[in-house]
A and B are shown apart, each in its own frame.
Chain A
Amino acid sequence: GAGVSQSPSNKVTEKGKDVELRCDPISGHTALYWYRQSLGQGLEFLIYFQGNSAPDKSGLPSDRFSAERTGGSVSTLTIQRTQQEDSAVYLCASSRQGSNAEAFFGQGTRLTVV
């Protein structure tokens, strides 16, 4: 596609449920990032994938958060046993050349935990 695609655009879930958020990066982009943005806040880095290298998971806030990237393309961010503080917009971005290239962002998934 022309840009980074994320689905769903909105997700409401009950506390304690697991959720999966999907990201389709721009074709040919080898780097993929997940960020989180709470209401009125800046972006918070979560995880980074670059090609076949081991992902940088240093931003994941707890072990309830995990992500995978299959075939170097689509990525799924999974949040287990969701809590109300997980409510945020989850943004995915991809870039062409690696960690220092310009990142193109998707529209995000707005997650609401009730």
Chain B
Amino acid sequence: DAKTTQPPSMDCAEGRAANLPCNHSTISGNEYVYWYRQIHSQGPQYIIHGLKNNETNEMASLIITEDRKSSTLILPHATLRDTAVYYCIVRAWSGNNRKLIWGLGTSLAVNP
């Protein structure tokens, strides 16, 4: 599975959009981009995933560049409860969770 690069930390004002970038320049054609987040003292929580089209669900939107070498997770109206570490992971659909490489993620602080 390809490796990802994320900024170590970001700040966002409450109510504003939080845009979290991720670079995955070595992504392969069959690899999906997954986002998880981990709120302090809790287990990771799945947010969203996508292959090449932009995706949206009740939690967030995922924008993947046309060359698929990078993506952005968007939390449209960040709240204090969105303060967490956000992990970007790439994985083949036929791949497996046990081989995922979990980096250090981006620590997002949502400020009042």
> Which A residues are closer than 8 A to B by beta carbons?
4, 31, 33, 40-45, 48, 56, 59, 91, 93, 95, 98-108
| CB contact between B104 and one of A40, A48, A104 (< 8 Å): that residue | A40
Q: What does DSSP make chain A's interface, helix, strand, loop or mixed?
A: loop
Is the CB–CB distance between A43 and B102 below 8 Å? Answer: yes
Name the residue of chain A whose CB is nearest to the CB of B99.
Answer: A45
B50 at the interface (CB under 8 A from A): no
Is the CB–CB distance between A100 and B97 below 8 Å? Answer: yes
Set of chain B residues within 8 Å of A95, measured between Cβ atoms: 97
Q: How far is the CA of A10 from the CA of B101 in the complex (A)?
A: 26
Q: Which residues of B89-108 have CB atoms within 8 Å of chain A's CB atoms?
A: 91-105
Q: How far is the CA of A50 from the CA of B103 in the complex (A)?
A: 25
Nearest first, the 8 A-B pairs at minimum CB distance are A105-B43, A99-B96, A42-B102, A43-B102, A48-B98, A103-B97, A45-B98, A105-B44
Q: How far is the CA of A48 from the CA of B100 in the complex (A)?
A: 12
Name the residue of chain B whose CB is nearest to the CB of A101.
Answer: B97
Identify which of A43, A101, A107 gathers the most chain B CB atoms within 10 Å of its CB. A43
Name the residue of chain A whose CB is nearest to the CB of B34.
Answer: A102
Set of chain B residues within 8 Å of A102, measured between Cβ atoms: 46
| CB contact between B43 and one of A41, A42, A93, A99 (< 8 Å): that residue | A93
Is the CB–CB distance between A41 and B97 below 8 Å? Answer: no
Name the residue of chain A whose CB is nearest to the CB of B101.
Answer: A42
Name the residue of chain A whose CB is nearest to the CB of B93.
Answer: A100
Is the CB–CB distance between A42 and B103 below 8 Å? Answer: yes
Set of chain A residues within 8 Å of B103, measured between Cβ atoms: 42
